Amino acid sequence: MSAVVDERTSVGRLGDSITRPDGTAKVQGSFAFSSDLSAENSLWGATLRSPHPYARIVSIDVTPAYRISGVEIIVTAADVPGKATYGLITQDQPVFASEFVRHVGEPVAAVAADHPETCRRALGAIVVTYEVLEPLTDPERAIDGSHPPIHPDGNVIRHQRIVAGDVDATGEVVVEGEYEIGMQDQAFLGLEAALALPDPGGAGVELHVATQWLHEDRKQIAACLGLAEDKVRLALGGVGGAFGAREDISLQVHACLLALRTGRPVRIQYSREESFLGHVHRHPARIWMRHHATADGHIVKIEARMVFDGGAYASTSSAVLINGITHTQGPYKCANAVVDGYAVRTNNLPCGAMRGFGVVQACFAHEGQMDKLAVACGLDPIEIRLLNAIETGDRLITGQVIENVAPVARCIRDTAALALPDEPVGGHDGDPMRLPGGAGRTADARHIRRGIGFAVAMKNLMYSEGFDDYSTARCRLANGVVTLKFATSEVGQGFVTIAGQIARSVLGVDDVVLDPIDTGVGSAGSTSASRQTWMSGGAVNAACQKVLGLLFAHVAATNGVEAWSLRIDGSDVVDASGAFRLSVVEATSAISFDETVEYRHKPTEDLDENGQGDCHTAFAFVAHRAVVDVDPELGLVKVIQVATAQDVGRALNPLSVLGQIEGGIAQGLGLAVMEEIIMTDGRIRNPSFTDYLLPTFLDMPNVVATLIEEPDPIAPLGAKGVGEPPTISSTPAIVAAIRDAIGKPLDRVPVRPSDIIGLV
Amino acid sequence: MSDQMSDDATASARVGWNEQYALHVNDEVREVRDAWVGESLLFVLRERLGLMGTKGACEQGECGSCSVMVDGELVCSCLVMAASAVGQRILTIEGIAPIGAPSDVQRAFVDAGAVQCGFCTPGLIMAAHDLLERSVQPSEIEIREELSGNVCRCTGYGRIIEAVQRVSVNRRAGAST
């Protein structure tokens, strides 16, 4: 039943491309994902959801559902024993809607029954009477106050300005643009799923769940259940991808509540449609930018206005907004700026974290601007970016000075130096499969136009704005075997691989055992914000280093050598003279060491009213170049190649880094040309994999990647997070390539066939 | 959504809820008892036969996560009614290789870095085995076309293509020696 990674990892030290410790189980189908967990006598849970974007609940009658054989219990808002609402930053989202529903798909009730089909019928039998209200769907109406508040907290989630330098500064060259970013879904494959196991007498509950942050879930669940946190135990159910969508609560409280009320284990698994309704998405955004520059292309001032549509509940919108506006300049020097940013509440689907977290939106706009600036100044897209490339020691528009390694110019040059595809349109063999439209065989090769686009990004790493951001790890060493314990969510990114590499490198052991990932140790923080390599890697490293100190002291005391002179050489402890050598296995045969460490990064600050403050922890950089073929008659795009050079600090596992780069680019490609949740009047029109298009093998091109390894002295292992940057500037690079191919401005993503043909 | 069962039906009167049949799965005959007639092959494999290696991710045949072989043909088990698969030979991921002794395709996926979250992986292993049975030396475009019914959200596909190519090379090298 356990979904934890609990097997010995393969041998390998830092820098090795070793394979995943859970790889064999995953390819054999024996790895237990959260949806694979069941228990004796368990029930199925399911959720009744609002069909309306905005309505008042007049009445709920559950009695017809209770007449269905196999139905055990139905719960509504009235049954929530603790706090009625939850949320990551502000607790504004109801466990179940009571007075109002504020978005399509908002939970209204939950049922537990003997079979998923019984659940479905029970949901259909619950009678909810709604008074339908006019939804607020236009973010501008949330800002201008023309729609009454749809929530007691109001329609503006956060408004923040940045005012930097000389606001009256002007440049000889001025370029302006309005950009729009559509709502993207994380579309992880492993749907939301959990198994809740009640303690006898309902004293507590154990939840096995796919999540990004066990301890934060526990805090919110316990509050809603009215239980002490130690009565709620969470274990990581195998996670089938996350990408931000598992940072918020979805089914956690519902599953626990049903289990506590029935005294039986309860499984909940979302359908794909429900998943689209039941988790937060990437914020759709509208961004206006005006860049002022000198005639030779140096940026003088940036003005911007950004509006992020947060949907019905706050989630992490306020943090997404701050990421967006503080990345207005991108990886470019800029002394003067005026930026106005809003995150607003509407009756659209709630939005929150997705890979890139506000920076995806900002980057699409600033990179569109850089290309416009290049044209206006008579430079090429690479020259304008090199001219303005930010460096270590430069001051951002927030006043924060970049302390990290910042190889922006190198990212740009190395990307530009990668070989362009040698294949002509249609490939050397003229196979129509290689043309836009692929298997549809619709394109005429003579009409296809090729384009090349370039884009560069900066991304903050870790949490910002004064958040107490830490991770915990425990290291035990006995008989030459290291056992590591942490609550770091493994979502596919491969932390379980590098954790073992760190322990082997620090302590000179071959055998590393990973304890189950659960709340039996302190918080690791979230698997998000490209932070776990740095944070949990830092915690594992610190715990191992502490054990190493104890090991050396023990070896010194028992062998008459000086502790300060000892170091690890391969699998042995040796002294500086080389005369003393003892294997770690022998040294720990009769003694064990056990240390738990909390690792914290340097504190950050809130932004003041002018958006000034050292709000971020660290930054990583990346450049992308895209080559596309476009069929201008049918509006179809085929991405031929994406090239990238990424600042990774130090690649702890190069194969794993490459996987993040290729996977991240695929999601960036999706946003560029195909992925969008389409909302009409607050209703989602495409909640399925038939209608929400994901990149397939045929949509994704070959990726050519260079890792820029300049170990960052600020990072505990020299390594920067690598997960988000690939998703960020790949999108604007692809759109720039399409613009290059067809000569149209294209100011929104995803680029649709109608945008290319010119129907809209 | 029309219910075939009246809301106030009792358990004993539930029509279509006590189906008995046998499926031929991974060279074994597996009895299915007291099943609802509307259950998909995916549901029956997982929930009634305990074969959890086959994954459900879209329920409409778009993502390939639930791929199994039925009478030698690669199908999405979410689209097959379990009761209609009686008499057919079903092969699931559990039937590809014994636990602890992965197939060449499975090993290549691990070694090439083709696995991240792993949710799509069993379906892709089924599809890759099927492809490599039919095509000894698939070209890159052929691999892309043949596997395009299987969606992966983590990897961007590059390492998966690499894994399939490695198997193809190794099999041909093995065959020629």
pLDDT tens for each residue of A53-66: 999 999 999 999 99
pLDDT of B13 reads 53
Query: CATH assignment of A285-464+607-757, given 3.10.20.30, 3.30.365.10, 2.40.50.100, 3.50.30.20?
Result: 3.30.365.10
Average pLDDT over residues A221-237: 98
Mean pLDDT rounded to a whole number for chain A:
96
Reply yes or no: is the peptide bond before residue A750 cis, omega within 30 of 0.
Answer: yes
For residue B11, tell me if it sits in a domain: no
Q: How confident is the model at residue A283 (pLDDT cuts 50, 70, 90)?
A: very high
Q: Within 10 A of A419 (CB to CB), how many other CB atoms are there?
A: 8
**Partner residue facing B110 (CB), from A24, A439, A662:** A24
pLDDT digits (tens, 9 = 90+) for A478-503: 999 999 999 999 999 999 999 999 99
Angle in degrees, 0-180, between the axes of helices B121-134 and B104-112, rounded to the nearest 10: 120
**Partner residue facing B57 (CB), from A17, A190, A243:** A190
- Judge whether B168 is closer than 8 Å to chain A, CB to CB: no
pLDDT of residue B5 exceeding 70: no
**Residue B28's beta-bridge partner residues?**
B25
Closest chain A C-alpha to B157 CA, distance in angstroms:
6
Residues B156 and B90 placed together within one structural domain of the fold = no
Residues B50 and B114 placed together within one structural domain of the fold = no
Residue with tokens 């619709």: A442
Residue B54: list chain A partners with CB under 8 A.
Answer: 29
Check if the beta carbon of residue A443 is closer than 8 Å to that of residue A634.
Answer: yes
pLDDT of A441 reads 85
SS3 A552: helix
Q: What percent of chain A has pLDDT over 90?
A: 95
Q: How confident is the model at residue B11 (pLDDT cuts 50, 70, 90)?
A: very low
pLDDT of residue A360 exceeding 60: yes
- Judge whether B34 is closer than 8 Å to chain A, CB to CB: no
pLDDT of residue B3 exceeding 50: no
Residues B77 and B125 placed together within one structural domain of the fold = no
Full 3-state SS string of B108-162: HHHHHCCCCCCCCHHHHHHHHHHHHHHCCCCCHHHHHHHCCCCCCCCCCCHHHHH
How far is A291 from B37, CA to CA, in rounded Å?
Answer: 64
Count of structural domains, chain B: 2
Closest chain A C-alpha to B108 CA, distance in angstroms:
10
DSSP 8-state assignment for residue A35: G
Check if the beta carbon of residue A602 is closer than 8 Å to that of residue A703.
Answer: no
pLDDT of A439 reads 84
Contacts of B176 (CB under 8 A, 6+ apart): none
Count of helices and strands (H, E) across chain A: 18, 31
Question: Could you tell me the CATH number of the domain that includes residue B27?
Answer: 3.10.20.30
pLDDT of residue A309 exceeding 90: yes
pLDDT of A4 reads 37
Question: Most B CBs within 10 Å: which of A236, A646, A696, A699, as the mutation test of the B interface?
Answer: A696
> Hey, are the CB atoms on A125 and B147 less than 8 Å from each other?
no
pLDDT digits (tens, 9 = 90+) for B51-86: 999 999 999 999 999 999 999 999 999 999 999 999
3-state helix, strand, coil in chain B (%, to 5): 40, 15, 45
pLDDT of B6 reads 44
3-state helix, strand, coil in chain A (%, to 5): 30, 30, 45
Of the listed ranges A197-206, A740-749, A751-760, the one predicted with least confidence: A751-760
Residues B91 and B108 placed together within one structural domain of the fold = no
> Hey, are the CB atoms on B154 and A191 less than 8 Å from each other?
no
DSSP 8-state assignment for residue B47: I
Average pLDDT over residues A693-703: 97
What one-letter code names the amino acid at B47? E
Residues B126 and B70 placed together within one structural domain of the fold = no
- Judge whether B11 is closer than 8 Å to chain A, CB to CB: yes
The first and second tokens of residue A277, run together, are: 């309704």
pLDDT of residue B102 exceeding 50: yes
Contacts of A347 (CB under 8 A, 6+ apart): A53, A54, A102, A103, A135, A136, A137, A150, A311, A312, A682
How far is B58 from B60, CA to CA, in rounded Å?
Answer: 5
**Partner residue facing A115 (CB), from B3, B36, B159:** B36
> Hey, are the CB atoms on B54 and A29 less than 8 Å from each other?
yes
pLDDT of residue A10 exceeding 80: no
pLDDT of residue A289 exceeding 60: yes
Range of the domain at B48: 17-95
Count of helices and strands (H, E) across chain B: 5, 5
For residue B7, tell me if it sits in a domain: no
Q: Within 10 A of A168 (CB to CB), how many other CB atoms are there?
A: 8
Residue B156: list chain A partners with CB under 8 A.
Answer: 659, 661-666, 695, 700, 703
Counting Cα atoms < 13 Å in the Cβ hemisphere of A187 gives 32
Residues B64 and B134 placed together within one structural domain of the fold = no
For residue B82, tell me if it sits in a domain: yes
CA distances from B116 to A6, A391, A654, B109 (A): 17, 33, 14, 10
**Partner residue facing A29 (CB), from B111, B122, B145:** B122
Alpha-helix runs per DSSP H in A251-354:
252-262, 272-278, 317-326
Q: What is the full DSSP assignment across A352-398?
A: ---TTTTHHHHHHHHHHHHHHHHHHHT--HHHHHHHHB--TTPBPTT
Question: Most B CBs within 10 Å: which of A19, A27, A490, A662, as the mutation test of the B interface?
Answer: A27
Burial of B33 (0-12, 13-18, 19+ CB in 10 A): exposed
Residue A282: list chain B partners with CB under 8 A.
Answer: none
> Hey, are the CB atoms on B7 and A68 less than 8 Å from each other?
yes
How far is A28 from B98, CA to CA, in rounded Å?
Answer: 8
Average pLDDT over residues A384-412: 98
Region of A666 on the Ramachandran plot (φ > 0 left; ψ -120 to 50 alpha; else beta): alpha
Contacts of A201 (CB under 8 A, 6+ apart): none
Residue A117: list chain B partners with CB under 8 A.
Answer: 36, 38
Average pLDDT over residues A706-730: 98
How far is A334 from A369, CA to CA, in rounded Å?
Answer: 14
For residue B81, tell me if it sits in a domain: yes
Closest chain A C-alpha to B55 CA, distance in angstroms:
8
Check if the beta carbon of residue A536 is closer than 8 Å to that of residue A462.
Answer: no
Residues B33 and B90 placed together within one structural domain of the fold = yes
Task: Note every long-range contact of A561-569, with CB atoms under 8 Å and residues 24 or more positions apart, other chains counting.
Answer: A568/A506, A568/A507, A568/A508, A569/A508
| End position of a domain, from candidates B60, B95, B130 | B95
Mean pLDDT rounded to a whole number for chain B:
92
pLDDT of B177 reads 63
pLDDT of A1 reads 34
Entry field: residues in chain A: 760
Residue with tokens 């999540």: A211
| End position of a domain, from candidates B75, B95, B115 | B95
Contacts of A429 (CB under 8 A, 6+ apart): none
User: Could you give the angle at the alpha carbon of A188 between the alpha carbons of A501 and A358, nearest 5°?
Assistant: 85
Check if the beta carbon of residue A163 is closer than 8 Å to that of residue A333.
Answer: no
Residues B21 and B88 placed together within one structural domain of the fold = yes
How far is A522 from A539, CA to CA, in rounded Å?
Answer: 11
For residue B9, tell me if it sits in a domain: no
**Partner residue facing B156 (CB), from A33, A433, A663:** A663
- Judge whether B40 is closer than 8 Å to chain A, CB to CB: no
- Distance between alpha carbon A184 and the CA centroid of its chain, in Å? 12
How far is A498 from A536, CA to CA, in rounded Å?
Answer: 10
Nearest chain A residue to B110 by CA: give it. Answer: A23
Residue B47: list chain A partners with CB under 8 A.
Answer: 38
Taking Cα atoms as reference points, which of A271, A658, A304, A617 lies closest to residue A470?
Answer: A617
- Judge whether B55 is closer than 8 Å to chain A, CB to CB: yes
Residues of chain A with CATH 3.30.365.10: 23-32+470-600, 285-464+607-757
pLDDT of residue A6 exceeding 60: no
| End position of a domain, from candidates B68, B95, B122 | B95
pLDDT of B24 reads 98
What are phi and psi for residue A130, nearest 5 degrees? Answer: -115, 145
How far is A495 from A489, CA to CA, in rounded Å?
Answer: 8
Sign, CA torsion A379/A382/A386/A390: positive
Residues B44 and B74 placed together within one structural domain of the fold = yes
Strand runs (DSSP E) across A294-335, as ranges? 299-309
Please, which residues 114-143 of chain B have a Cβ atom closer than 8 Å to chain A?
A: 115-122, 125, 141, 143
Check if the beta carbon of residue A112 is closer than 8 Å to that of residue A262.
Answer: yes
How far is A276 from A272, CA to CA, in rounded Å?
Answer: 6
Residues B169 and B115 placed together within one structural domain of the fold = yes
pLDDT of residue B89 exceeding 80: yes
pLDDT of residue A393 exceeding 80: yes
> Hey, are the CB atoms on A663 and B93 less than 8 Å from each other?
no
Q: How confident is the model at residue B176 (pLDDT cuts 50, 70, 90)?
A: confident
Q: Domain A23-32+470-600 falls in which CATH fold?
A: Aldehyde Oxidoreductase; domain 4 (3.30.365)
**Partner residue facing A67 (CB), from B8, B92, B93:** B8
Q: How confident is the model at residue A431 (pLDDT cuts 50, 70, 90)?
A: confident
pLDDT of A428 reads 83
- Judge whether B59 is closer than 8 Å to chain A, CB to CB: yes
Residues B157 and B122 placed together within one structural domain of the fold = yes
- Judge whether B15 is closer than 8 Å to chain A, CB to CB: no
In this complex, how many residue pairs, one in chain A and one in chain B, have their CB atoms less than 8 Å apart?
Answer: 201
The first and second tokens of residue B66, run together, are: 């639930």
The first and second tokens of residue A475, run together, are: 């290291």
pLDDT of A3 reads 34
Alpha-helix runs per DSSP H in A20-106:
23-28, 63-66
The structure's pTM equals 0.97
How far is A235 from A266, CA to CA, in rounded Å?
Answer: 15
Residues of chain A with CATH 3.90.1170.50: 35-133+191-239+246-273
Contacts of A226 (CB under 8 A, 6+ apart): A81, A82, A83
What are phi and psi for residue A44, nearest 5 degrees? Answer: -100, 140
pLDDT of A429 reads 84
For residue B53, tell me if it sits in a domain: yes
Question: Could you tell me the CATH number of the domain that includes residue B111?
Answer: 1.10.150.120
How far is A279 from A47, CA to CA, in rounded Å?
Answer: 13
- Judge whether B3 is closer than 8 Å to chain A, CB to CB: yes
User: Could you give the angle at the alpha carbon of A665 between the alpha carbons of A664 and A667, nearest 5°?
Assistant: 70
The first and second tokens of residue A758, run together, are: 């010119």
How far is A239 from A247, CA to CA, in rounded Å?
Answer: 12
CA distances from A375 to A75, A321, A385, A720, B41 (A): 61, 30, 12, 34, 58
The first and second tokens of residue B122, run together, are: 């069993």
pLDDT digits (tens, 9 = 90+) for B13-43: 577 889 999 999 999 999 999 999 999 999 9
pLDDT of residue A5 exceeding 80: no
- Judge whether B54 is closer than 8 Å to chain A, CB to CB: yes
Average pLDDT over residues A684-689: 98
Q: Domain A35-133+191-239+246-273 falls in which CATH fold?
A: Aldehyde Oxidoreductase; domain 3 (3.90.1170)
Residue B52: list chain A partners with CB under 8 A.
Answer: 29, 32, 36
pLDDT of residue A686 exceeding 50: yes
Q: How confident is the model at residue A430 (pLDDT cuts 50, 70, 90)?
A: confident
